[in-house]
Amino acid sequence: MPGDVDLAVIIVPAEQVLEVIDQCARKGVIGVIVISAGFGEAGTEGIERQRLLREKALAYGMRVIGPNCLGIMNTDAEVNLNAAMAGLMPPRGSVSISSHSGALGIALLDYVKSNNLGIAHFASIGNRIDISSNDLLEFWEDDDNTKVILLYLETFGNPRRFSRLARRLTRKKPIIAVKAGRSEVGGRAATSHTGALAGSDIAVDALFRQAGVIRVNTIEEMFNVAKNLAHQPLPKGPRLAILTNAGGPGVLAADAAINYGLSVPPLSEETRRRLAQFLPKEASLVNPVDMIASATGEQFGKALSIILEDSAIDAAIVINIPVRPYQEVASGIQKEMAGYEGEKPVLACFMMSGTNTIEIRTAPDRLVPVYMFPEDAVQAFFQSYTYSRYRTLKAGTVPIFPEAAEAKARKYLEPSAVLKNGGWLPPETALGLLKEYGIPAVETKTAGSAEEAAKVALEIGFPVVMKLRSTTITHKTDLHGVLLGLQSEDEVIQGYKEMKTRLEAAGQGKAMEGVILQPLVKGGEEIILGMSLDPVFGPLVMVGLGGIQVELMKDVAFSIHPLTDIDPDYMFSQLKGLPLLNGWRGSPPRDLDALREVLLRFSALIEDLPEIAAVEINPLMVFDRGKGTMAADARILFKSGTAPM
């Protein structure tokens, strides 16, 4: 081939690809798309072939998309490139798409075209030996042609890089993602409550939430949200007006809105007065506004225009049952809304087949998105509002606690023999480590015999709590290893002996390494804090209602480590038991400020000691507002062979 070649698209049998790469190198090609299959997805031989392909391409300084991919598209007028094995080229638009799956990529392109959307770029990245979704995000961040980004993800190559890029990018542009593989395939050995409750999909949820990514469950939902964000302004608030020519669909839309936590407020008196001037007396003018079945296209448009002027409304959904020809209603809305450049989004629902053929263009670059069912329109608005609200939040920062020094903590841990080969810290050492990071912990002492336990209890002062001391038994309460409110030396001695007898009867006698004794802590709400290591995302931090009910109630919330100063409040908001902390039916409000600080200090501990594999504080007692917190029990597991030096 004469002249320079920028891009080579390789579609030959897999065993010939390496030879073609050599030919490309001799020609000076810098970009390669390998559409050919038969690599990492094709067994041992394919994995080896993929390794050689990657090494060869990188050695030549080439950038590679694929292998085993559909290819790429770029609708920029200066490029106008279709290098994809797809039988269609969507129109130019503002949506850019990355898909791990080539086959699904064809369906995505078809959805784009059928939903009145156009694309800026499309990339099917296949086995991702070089260019990944993260690289595309970095490119799209500053690409003026891209307004909305759609991702179909099967795995995360580098989730921490994804998080950094997405946090920055979503401040400018929305990212809508479908993450395949929500179910947990195979079991995980859970060494704690946190590990039992955590899962990779929970980690994905936390990552997307912290990065401002809009997560949807299906491709259909992805495009429902995308066509709203691509053509309508971001909503300023959750107050939704519903305009319909039938009562039932209006009620369905209102129910869906309330279920999402949106608002369907009554319209103002002035708005109702203006609507009453041209709507029949049988119409309902509250909200939803039911114009009844006789509503004309002109009435649809006029009513919508009036409703959008109501200061109590942030957005409107128009629902049409096709009593009249749908073209009349669409035309009436378009005519009345022509040139509307207000800041309130408008969505439409035409309850009929073929809704994708309906185009309501109110400005050259603005369409009213059309849905078949009211719930779809409400879901799209809710996701847009959630993203809009994220954009208004300040970007969180990771706080630093200068007094919680890593060197000081490591020095504290040096005497612990457990650290030599990994394993659980003794409970008194674990609580002491928390204190090194400014997390209050109850006074804790140990005893190796019944008589010593009685002596220690006398020093602490009655009533006391006696707990099994063991670095191998996970849940002490399952073996009656926690005795509360012991009032005398005799009760302590008797309790010790009974605990030992029960363990021996259960074949666990050697697991008893004595007991720990603490003063009885009263008056707090029991909370659990935990950390487990996700194999892909790293440390996953949990907070929830504690005590023995944690696995039964499962009222917990997760965030990816490290926590920023805005993460604790979001985690609290996800707890069904939050009213208990805020004061419920006469109970006193608890010290959420202190709990917030403990969470951030907990994250700092995890950051400084990456050798930690799991942590659990259960219970953490949260006292009345202004009274602080107190860790009553803690378990910390260090990775095998990575003990602090």
Residue 188: pLDDT band with limits 50, 70, 90? very low
Q: How far from 460 is each of 445, 467, 487, 513, 628, CA to CA, in Å?
A: 9, 14, 12, 20, 21
Q: Tell me, yes or no, whether 419 and 376 share the same domain.
A: no
Q: Tell me, yes or no, whether 437 and 448 share the same domain.
A: no
Least confident of 92-96, 377-381, 479-483: 479-483
Q: How far apart are CA 306 and CA 308, in angstroms?
A: 5
DSSP class of residue 5 equals: -
* 368 assigned to some structural domain: yes
The rounded percent of the chain whose pLDDT value lies above 90 is: 69
User: What is residue 191's predicted lDDT score, i.e. its pLDDT?
Assistant: 44
* 17 assigned to some structural domain: no
Average pLDDT over residues 342-360: 91
Q: Tell me, yes or no, whether 408 and 545 share the same domain.
A: yes
* CATH for 242: 3.40.50.261
User: What is residue 334's predicted lDDT score, i.e. its pLDDT?
Assistant: 95
* CATH for 448: 3.30.1490.20
User: What is residue 187's predicted lDDT score, i.e. its pLDDT?
Assistant: 34
The listed range with the strongest mean pLDDT (14-28, 151-165, 397-411, 553-567) is: 14-28
Q: Tell me, yes or no, whether 344 and 413 share the same domain.
A: no
* 633 assigned to some structural domain: yes
Q: Tell me, yes or no, whether 593 and 565 share the same domain.
A: yes
In degrees rounded to 5, what are phi and psi of residue 138?
-65, -40
Q: How far apart are CA 262 and CA 255, in angstroms?
A: 10
**Selection from 31, 35, 19 nearest residue 62 by Cα:** 31
* 6 assigned to some structural domain: no
Domain boundary among 360, 392, 424: 392
Q: For the segment 36-46, what is each residue's pLDDT rounded down to a tens digit?
A: 999 998 889 99
Mean pLDDT of the chain: 90
Q: Tell me, yes or no, whether 284 and 166 share the same domain.
A: no
Q: Tell me, yes or no, whether 400 and 496 share the same domain.
A: no
Least confident of 297-311, 540-554, 567-581, 611-625: 540-554
Q: Tell me, yes or no, whether 461 and 610 share the same domain.
A: no
Q: Which amino acid is at 245?
A: N
How would you class 331 by CB atoms within 10 Å of its CB: exposed for 0-12, middle for 13-18, buried for 19 or more? middle
Domain boundary among 471, 501, 520: 520
3-state secondary structure 479-518: HCCEEEEECCHHHHHHHHHHHHHHHHHCCCHHHCCCEEEE
Q: Tell me, yes or no, whether 645 and 509 share the same domain.
A: no
**Selection from 636, 600, 603, 601 nearest residue 617 by Cα:** 636
User: What is residue 182's predicted lDDT score, i.e. its pLDDT?
Assistant: 61
Q: How far apart are CA 132 and CA 298, in angstroms?
A: 50
Q: How many domains does the chain have?
A: 4
Q: Tell me, yes or no, whether 266 and 338 share the same domain.
A: yes
* 201 assigned to some structural domain: yes
Q: For the segment 222-255, what is each residue's pLDDT rounded down to a tens digit?
A: 999 999 999 999 999 999 999 999 999 999 999 9
* 15 assigned to some structural domain: no
Average pLDDT over residues 131-152: 95
Least confident of 119-123, 407-411, 500-504: 407-411
Number of H helices, E strands in the chain: 21, 28
Domain boundary among 219, 241, 273: 219
User: What is residue 189's predicted lDDT score, i.e. its pLDDT?
Assistant: 37
Average pLDDT over residues 123-151: 95
* 12 assigned to some structural domain: no
Q: Which pTM does this prediction carry?
A: 0.86
By the 8 A CB rule, do 550 and 618 touch?
A: yes
Q: Tell me, yes or no, whether 165 and 314 share the same domain.
A: no
> Which residue range(s) make up the domain with 285?
232-392
Average pLDDT over residues 366-370: 92
* CATH for 611: 3.30.470.20
By the 8 A CB rule, do 348 and 369 touch?
A: yes
Least confident of 32-41, 352-361, 475-484, 537-546: 475-484
Q: Tell me, yes or no, whether 340 and 295 share the same domain.
A: yes
The answer on pLDDT for 197 being more than 60 is: no
Least confident of 144-148, 346-350, 406-410: 406-410
The listed range with the strongest mean pLDDT (77-81, 257-261, 341-345) is: 257-261
